[in-house]
Amino acid sequence: MLIGLAVLWPGGAPPHERTGVGFDRQTQQATVTKVVELSCQSVNASGVPPTGDTSTAAGSSAVQQANGDCKRATIRVDSGKDKGRTFDEIVQPDQSRQLHEGQKVVVAYEPSAPTDLQYSVTDINRRIPMALLAGIFALAVVVVGRLRGLMALISLAISFLVLNFFILPAILQGSNPLLVAVVGSSAIMLIALYLCHGLSARTSVAVLGTLISLVLIGVLGSLFIGWAALTGNTDDNTGLIHGLYPTIDMSGLLLAGVIIGSLGVLDDVTVTQTSAVWELHEANPTLGRRGLYRAGIRIGRDHIASVVNTLVLAYAGAALPLLLLFSIAQSGVGTVANSELVAEEIVRTLVGSIGLVASVPVTTALAALVVSADRPTDRPAAQAAGATPGASATPVRGGRGRRRKH
């Protein structure tokens, strides 16, 4: 992992000229200072451009002819070289985003446009509620988790640092996205698991189980993304990335997303399974490797059922607007599943779920092997004493078997 980080470490994201499209625009912070109502019929004569919100159901000309009152919003730029400058925008009555006085907004700046069209409102400034929510989350984690919770927050911060300073710049510089994702995910996993759970054999088993599952996900993802001819270039954002950095392998980027997205759930499964086997050993030290594995795998089956369902619902929830569009179009299931947008999510979900399912028996077997290795003389000693490991459990199983026969 360290060698991979050293070889692939980027010097920073390569620069490019801004296109002024989507997220690749210059933005500044601003405040709505005044909102006044006016007739929509007078908008054409006013010469004031409409707001940057393009979520209206009809075109602007149709809206201006509709009955109802439009609004003229005056916005003050609060950052950048034009701080203090004001401009006006028209807010149409059927727009989903309505502006009100005192509201903090984000404005796009286009220096090549005419002076009165250089600024336009693009979004609402959500920094305060987002920061408050993050603070509540951090407080809840520390209050409930105490030291473990604090370590989890630190590992979360480190994960973001690895993502922002290694994974993303390395991909932008043209490194293989799959290789970058594997190295970066391994670094995140090692830091997170050992920081939260300590340096121990138990944690090392969880790390090894996670690594094996990630390799499986990478192999299956590479195979089926290539077989299904998924390009990874399915919307405006991926198209913009490909236009700015044509050397990026977009299908490899899709595979990297599958690996990174599966890592968080994998950590949960492998740590839980390892802890379950360790606790079973502590509760009944006479259980051998097979007994520990069988008991652990029964716990794992319940875990699989809940985690796979969670993963599928998470992807379905993220793609819900897209699924609604297909429902409105009354497309058949086969047509929907065959479209690249949905096929990407299907492959992403199924490959990640296969990795999760495989992690349970792999991690359980490794944990049973390691936790029982510190008692190599248990079985001979028990046999010499006229007993066998797990003897108390054997009659019960036999009893159940006899009851089944009767």
Q: What is the DSSP letter of 228?
A: T
Number of Cβ within 10 Å of residue 320's Cβ equals 10
Is 100 in the same domain as 157?
A: no
Task: Report d(CA 367, CA 289) in Å as an integer.
Answer: 9
204 shares a domain with 341: yes
Length of the chain as a residue count: 406
Distance between CA atoms of residues 142 and 151, nearest Å: 9
- pLDDT band per the 50, 70, 90 thresholds, residue 328: confident
Average pLDDT of the chain to the nearest whole number:
78
Say if residue 115 is in the same domain as residue 166: no
Which pLDDT value is given to residue 383?
Answer: 42
> Quick check: 240 and 19 in contact, CB under 8 A?
yes
Given this model, what pLDDT does residue 42 score?
63
Can you read off the two tokens belonging to residue 94? 């059927």
Instruction: Please indicate, yes or no, whether residues 101 and 214 belong to a single structural domain of this protein.
Output: no
Dist. CA 146–CA 311, nearest whole Å:
28
Give the structural domain span for 93.
Answer: 27-125
The answer to the question of residue 163 being in a domain is yes
d(CA 117, CA 34): 19
Q: How far is CA 150 from the centre of its chain?
A: 21
How far apart CA 312 and CA 352 sit, in angstroms, is: 10
pLDDT band at 19 (very low <50, low <70, confident <90, very high): low
> Of the candidates 100, 315, 278, 301, which has an alpha carbon nearest to the alpha carbon of residue 201?
278
- Check residue 331 and report its DSSP letter: -
Query: C-alpha distances in angstroms, 405 versus 394, 399, 401, 402?
Result: 17, 10, 6, 5
Phi-psi region of 173 (alpha: psi -120 to 50; beta: other; left: phi over 0): alpha
Q: What is the pLDDT of residues 104-152, one digit of tens each?
A: 999 888 887 887 788 888 888 898 999 999 999 999 999 998 888 899 8
279 or 393: whose pLDDT is higher?
Answer: 279
Q: Give CA–CA dist 208/223, Å, rounded.
A: 23
- In the structure, what pLDDT confidence band is assigned to residue 76 with cuts at 50, 70 and 90? very high
* 244: amino acid identity, one letter: L
Question: Would residue 10 count as lying in a domain?
Answer: no
pLDDT for position 15: 64
Higher pLDDT, 391 or 151: 151
251 has a pLDDT exceeding 70:
yes
What is the distance between the alpha carbons of residues 122 and 189, in angstroms, rounded to a whole number?
37
Domain total of the chain:
2
Q: How far apart are CA 41 and CA 306, in angstroms?
A: 56
Distance CA 188, CA 159 (A): 5
Question: pTM here?
Answer: 0.70
Residue 208 domain-assigned? yes
- Examine residue 400 and state whether it is found in any structural domain, yes or no: no
- Say whether both 101 and 153 belong to one domain: no
Is 93 found in the same domain as 229? no
Mean pLDDT of 254-260: 86
**What pLDDT, on the 0 to 100 scale, is given for residue 60?**
42
108 and 256 housed in the same domain: no
Contact 206, 197 (CB under 8 A): yes
Do 273 and 303 meet the contact criterion of CB atoms below 8 Å apart?
Answer: yes
pLDDT band of 288, cuts 50, 70, 90: confident
Confidence band of 349 (pLDDT split at 50, 70, 90): confident
Who has greater pLDDT, 61 or 130? 130
CA 159 to CA 327: how far, in whole Å?
38
CA distance 83 to 30: 9
Residue 171 included in any domain: yes
Spatial separation of the C-alpha atoms in residues 73 and 90, rounded to whole Å: 6
Q: Cα 82 vs. chain centroid, distance in angstroms? A: 37
* SS3 labels along 32-48: EEEEEEEEHHHHHHHCC
Rg of the chain over Cα atoms, rounded to whole angstroms, equals 29
Q: What is the mean pLDDT of residues 335-359?
A: 83
Beta bridge partners of 50: 90
Comparing 156 with 322, the larger pLDDT belongs to: 156
More confident residue, 28 or 3: 28
Contact 371, 296 (CB under 8 A): no
Residues 90 and 159 in one domain: no
DSSP annotation string for 233-292: --SHHHHHHHHH-TTS-HHHHHHHHHHHHHHHHHHHHHHHHHHHHHHHHHH-TT--HHHH
Q: How far apart are CA 353 and CA 311, in angstroms?
A: 7
What are the pLDDT digits (tens) for 190-244? 888 888 888 888 889 999 999 999 889 989 988 998 898 888 777 777 777 777 7
373: alpha, beta or left, given left = phi > 0 and alpha = psi -120 to 50? Answer: alpha
- Round to whole Å and give the CA distance between 401 and 406: 9
| 229 and 111 assigned to the same domain | no
Domain assignment present for 186: yes
Taking 80 as the threshold, does the pLDDT of residue 245 lie above it?
A: no
Indicate whether 118 belongs to any domain: yes
Say what the pLDDT of residue 21 is: 62
Q: Specify if 214 maps to a domain.
A: yes
Tell me, yes or no, whether 154 and 119 share the same domain. Answer: no
Confidence category of residue 254, pLDDT binned at 50, 70, 90: confident
pLDDT at 364 over 80: yes
222 and 311 part of one domain: yes
Query: pLDDT class for 331, splitting at 50, 70, 90?
Result: low
Tell whether 267 and 121 lie within a shared domain. Answer: no
